[in-house]
Amino acid sequence: MPLYAAYGSNLDPSRMSARCPHSPLRSTGWLVGWRLTFGGEELGWDGALATIVQDHFEQVFVALYDVTDEDVSLLDSWESADTGLYRKTMVRVSTMQGEQVAWAYVLDAFEGGLPSASYLGVLADAAEAADAPIDYVRALRTRACRSGGI
């Protein structure tokens, strides 16, 4: 079963279970050498969209899910990968069980722009639901946004 590394709203196991009911949470971990950023402000209905980019000095908290073939199609639709908004890339995730190879969605747009406060709130709530470290969740909640902060 392919592994999916969720870094956005799909970090929330309840949300992911509703979207992909046959794909259980396996573990959580870190994308070392990547950072969470935003882009495609003109493409989103509520500001810039979450994505990841390589950055040797950063890391991104992720949840790993075992995704069934049936759920891959559902997830591609949820994440607009079936329209070309996001594409899949292979990543290495550092977990307590060792490194795992997984795929993640990467925005097919230029980096830049600010997300909305509500979108950052969704991401922070999802990270909290996935038991991300407190400082990671706090950084999401205090990140610059279109409305000047949360």
What does the pLDDT read at residue 43? 81
Domain count, the chain: 1
Residues 6+ apart with CB under 8 A from 148: 117
Q: What is the pTM of this model?
A: 0.93
- Of 63, 62, 60, the residue nearest 25 (C-alpha): 63
pLDDT in tens, 88-122: 999 999 999 999 999 999 999 999 999 999 999 99
Give residue 2's pLDDT band: very low, low, confident or very high (50, 70, 90).
Answer: confident
Could you tell me if residue 150 is inside a domain? no
Residue 105 in domain: yes
The pLDDT assigned to 149 comes to 43
At 6-61, the pLDDT tens digits run 999 999 999 999 999 999 999 999 999 999 999 998 887 788 999 999 999 999 99
Residue 30: inside a domain: yes
pLDDT for res 103: 97
The pLDDT, as a whole number, for residue 27 is 96
Is 54 contained in some domain?
yes
Domain range for residue 21? 3-140
pLDDT recorded at residue 148: 46
pLDDT recorded at residue 1: 64
Which CATH number is 68's domain given? 3.10.490.10
Q: Are 101 and 70 in contact (CB under 8 A)?
A: no
Query: Is 43 among the domain residues?
Result: yes
Asked whether the predicted pLDDT for residue 131 surpasses 70, the reply is: yes
Q: Which residues of 37-60 are buried (b: 16+ CB within 10 A; e: fewer)?
A: bbbbbeebeebbbbbbeeeeebbb
47 with 68: CB under 8 angstroms?
Answer: no
146 within domain boundaries: no
- Do the domain assignments include residue 10? yes
Q: Is residue 106 part of a domain?
A: yes
Q: State residue 80's pLDDT score.
A: 87
